[in-house]
Amino acid sequence: MLTGRTASITLRRCRSYTTKHGLRPVPILSDAGLETFRKDAFEPATPAILPRQTFSQLPAVQRWFLTASDGRLTLNRPYLARFGSTIVPLEISSNDRFTRIEQSLSFFLECVHASSSTYRVRPSRYFSAYVPGARAIRRTTQSNDFFSATAISPPTARVYLAQAPINDLPRALRDDLPVPDLVLKAGKGDVYDSSIWIGQAPTYTPLHRDPNPNLFVQLAGTKIVRLFPPDAGKAIFAKVQETIEGSASATMRGEEMMQGAEKKALEFEVWSDDVKSGRTGWEAELRSGDGLFIPKGWWHSVKGTGDGITGSVNWWFR
């Protein structure tokens, strides 16, 4: 339980952000000190947001991302391309198909660049300027343009650099993500594992739970996290399995939660506006530099929102 003093502070800070469908806003700690974190989050196993922008000085925040001329956030390709031969895990989704592969970081950079490419229309009767990554469109009876910006639809395939362990990255990139003191000192002093998550919004991670406490830090863009206590999350999972007549295990999760009936049912139960069942859960909106503590066993689902790139890092600790 939060102390009376801390609860009053966090409630005041949360008044500007209210959630939908009865989900409570995750409280914001009064300060980023180790003792406050232990007392009001780690030891009672309660979700909490560190004071806003606590992690804004992580080198990766400054070095990995840029703001494009149109205002959208993008990757710092010249910097990251120096490490292009690094092999990273990628999740590729297209409509209802999903697969995981390992490819080079340079491959991922090219995919992101292609997915964000657009047409820049020039004043020409027959042609518009072509940007690499977009597709040519045949002339139709409704258009005199061989390359028509109005005929382009966004690519359906999305590539997400997901669950890439920090320890597998080159030294320079690891140095851009130093382990926060809270992770090193709040628990037993060691990191169980860590991951980075980078992709073009919207991104999506389905409802799941972790076997260790988790510090989740937003590096770039915006993500919404919905969290459910162990019993409430288990009830949602069981309801989904009953709905789809499935038999998946809550402790052994595979690609079934990323595609097909289970993915759709999980997303509906956690995110749909049509759910009226009064879910018991919390919600957090995270922007660049924000950090969220997710206790062991708490179920959570994450969505990257807006335009442009979103980037996150998390550390699981004991």
Residue 178 scores a pLDDT above 60: yes
d(CA 39, CA 78): 43
Q: What is the mean pLDDT of residues 128-132?
A: 38
133 near 144, Cβ under 8 Å? no
- Closest among 67, 19, 25, 80 to 49, alpha carbons compared: 25
Q: What amino acid occupies position 284?
A: A
Binning pLDDT at 50, 70 and 90, where does residue 128 land?
very low
pLDDT at 147 over 70: no
- The tally of CA atoms less than 13 A away on the side-chain side of residue 195 is 13
pLDDT of residue 195: 96
* Band (271; pLDDT cuts 50, 70, 90): very high
Contact between 220 and 68 under an 8 Å Cβ cutoff? The reply is no
Exposed / middle / buried, residue 149 (Cβ in 10 Å: 0-12, 13-18, 19+):
middle
How confident is the model over 214-224, as pLDDT tens digits?
A: 999 999 999 99
Mean predicted confidence (pLDDT) in 56-84? 95
Q: Is residue 179 predicted with pLDDT exceeding 50?
A: yes
Report d(CA 204, CA 129) in Å as an integer.
33
| β-strands 24-25, 282-286 pairing | parallel
| 118: helix, strand or coil | coil
pLDDT at 117: 62
Q: What mean pLDDT value characterizes the chain?
A: 82
**Does position 112 have pLDDT exceeding 70, yes or no?**
yes
CATH class of 4-63+157-317: mainly beta
* Count of residues making up the chain: 318
Digit-coded pLDDT (tens) for 58-71: 999 999 999 988 88
CA angle 88, 94, 95 (to 5 degrees): 150
Please tell me which residue, 12 or 84, carries the higher pLDDT value: 84
pLDDT more than 90, % of the chain: 60
Q: How many CA atoms lie within 13 A of 140 on its CB side?
A: 8
Percent over 70 (pLDDT), the chain: 77
Lowest mean pLDDT among 47-51, 102-106, 250-254, 288-292: 250-254
Is the pLDDT at 6 greater than 50, yes or no?
no
Q: Which of 15-19, 33-37, 103-107, 265-269 has the lowest mean pLDDT?
A: 15-19
Instruction: Kindly report which listed range (6-10, 98-102, 114-118) carries the lowest average pLDDT score.
Output: 6-10
Give the residue with greater pLDDT, 154 vs 266: 266
Q: What is the pLDDT of residue 11?
A: 43
pLDDT surpassing 90 at residue 276? no
More confident residue, 184 or 13: 184
Q: What is the predicted pLDDT for the residue at 272?
A: 84
C-alpha dihedral (213, 215, 221, 225), degrees to nearest 10: 30
The pLDDT score that the predictor gives to residue 273 is: 73
For residue 32, with 0-12 CB atoms within 10 Å meaning exposed, 13-18 middle and 19 or more buried, which class applies? middle
Rg of the Cα trace of the chain?
A: 21
